[in-house]
């Protein structure tokens, strides 16, 4: 194994003056899939935005390194260039910019790019008519998620953060998209941090580790069985207690209560 890794250490970050991410540690190696699950408002999207450098977030402490390079010092485009990819929960619409425009920075010629885009679109059942549309404009939720997956497949980043890639996808599209990402972990050694609420995404995109985020902290980590357990019993018992505390020890805490405890 190479020394390649995406390493998050003691990351604390706030938005709008409130600390949302309260000290997250995570290490992802090439080819590994780490799933992050957690109730609404637990800070999953915030974590993904901070890793990618979306404006508006303030980092209090910690580091995020990709192959030893500190990403927190870099603007978003340089993080992308370093090999990081983020599929946002709510992909941004970019009028006037097509998918081909976005991807044409890569070394491939226009014809090669076109051919790869078409081949990848077929692989995830994405209609070719969307390839020339302005980025995410007038796409349904599910089409946006396929669009993100297509970019991932063509860009071939080293590490990808996928924030609810499954939301808006029907069962068939979900399977295709999850399989495509799983294939990238095997063919291209892609390392993945996948945020999801549902274990069905993880039936195809097989996690090595599952982490539960609650109130901005990981409160439990385990193997794939943890996702199954969550599907059955929900987040009760993982409502922000220290990681050492066994599940079930937390007494009657509503996981959907105000995550900030305000």
Give the footprint of ligand ADP on residues 233-262 (CB under 6 A). 259-260
Among 5, 32, 45, 185, binds ligand ADP (CB under 6 A): 45
CB atoms within 10 A of CB 191: 27
Measured CA distances, 65 to 119, 162, 261 (Å): 33, 18, 31
Select 14 or 65, whichever has its Cβ closest to ligand ADP: 14
Residue 49: CB minimum distance to ligand ADP, A: 7
Residue 163: CB minimum distance to ligand ADP, A: 7
List the helix and strand counts (H, then E) for the chain: 8, 12
Write out the DSSP string of 152-173: HHHH--SEEEEESTTTT--HHH
H or E segment at 49?
helix 44-52
Burial of 39 from C-beta contacts in 10 A (0-12 / 13-18 / 19+): buried
Among 30, 33, 41, 45, binds Mg ion (CB under 5 A): 45
Residue 216: CB minimum distance to ligand ADP, A: 8
CB atoms within 10 A of CB 160: 28
Which residues make beta-bridge pairs with 22? 12
Select 54 or 156, whichever has its Cβ closest to ligand ADP: 54
38 binds, among Mg ion, ligand ADP, none (CB under 5 to 8 A by kind): ligand ADP
Select 121 or 212, whichever has its Cβ closest to Mg ion: 212
Structure tokens at 92: 């941004």
Burial of 211 from C-beta contacts in 10 A (0-12 / 13-18 / 19+): buried
Give the footprint of Mg ion on residues 77-116 (CB under 5 A). 89
Burial of 166 from C-beta contacts in 10 A (0-12 / 13-18 / 19+): buried
Stretch that binds ligand ADP, among 14-22, 68-76, 119-127, 168-176 (CB under 6 A): 14-22
Residue 68: CB minimum distance to Mg ion, A: 29
Among 13, 33, 43, 217, binds ligand ADP (CB under 6 A): 43
Place of tokens 């018992």: 237
CA–CA gap between residue 72 and residue 86 (Å, rounded): 15
Residue 129: CB minimum distance to ligand ADP, A: 31
CA–CA gap between residue 110 and residue 225 (Å, rounded): 44
Stretch that binds ligand ADP, among 25-33, 37-45, 141-149, 242-250 (CB under 6 A): 37-45
Helix, strand or coil for residue 194?
A: strand
Select 42 or 151, whichever has its Cβ closest to ligand ADP: 42
**Residue 53 makes contact with ligand ADP by CB under 6 A:** no
Among 28, 33, 35, 44, binds ligand ADP (CB under 6 A): 44
Residue 43: CB minimum distance to Mg ion, A: 8
Stretch that binds Mg ion, among 44-52, 109-117, 203-211, 236-244 (CB under 5 A): 44-52
**Residues forming the site for ligand ADP (CB under 6 A):** 15-16, 20, 38, 40-46, 56, 259-260
């Amino acid at each position: 194994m190479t020394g390649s890794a995406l390493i998050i250490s003691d990351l604390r970050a706030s938005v709008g003056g409130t600390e949302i991410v309260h000290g997250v540690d995570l290490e992802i190696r090439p080819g590994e899939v780490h799933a992050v699950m957690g109730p609404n408002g637990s800070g999953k999207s915030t974590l993904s935005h901070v890793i990618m450098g979306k404006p508006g977030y303030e980092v209090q402490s910690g580091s995020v390194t990709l192959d030893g390079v500190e990403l927190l010092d870099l603007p978003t485009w340089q993080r992308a260039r370093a090999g990081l990819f983020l599929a946002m929960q709510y992909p941004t619409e970019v009028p006037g910019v097509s998918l081909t425009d976005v991807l044409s920075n890569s070394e491939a010629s226009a014809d090669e790019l076109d051919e790869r885009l078409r081949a990848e679109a077929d692989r995830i059942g994405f209609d070719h008519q969307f390839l020339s549309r302005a980025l995410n404009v007038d796409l349904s939720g599910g089409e946006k998620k396929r669009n993100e997956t297509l970019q991932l497949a063509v860009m071939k980043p080293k590490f990808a953060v996928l924030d609810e890639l499954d939301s808006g996808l029907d069962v068939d599209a979900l399977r295709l998209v999850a399989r495509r990402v799983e294939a990238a972990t095997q063919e291209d050694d892609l390392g993945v941090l996948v945020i999801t609420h549902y274990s069905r995404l993880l039936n195809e995109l097989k996690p090595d580790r599952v982490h539960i985020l609650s109130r901005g902290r990981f409160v439990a980590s385990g193997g794939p069985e943890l996702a199954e357990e969550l599907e059955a019993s929900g987040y009760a018992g993982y409502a922000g207690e220290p990681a050492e505390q066994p599940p079930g020890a937390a007494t009657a805490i509503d996981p959907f209560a105000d995550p900030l405890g305000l």
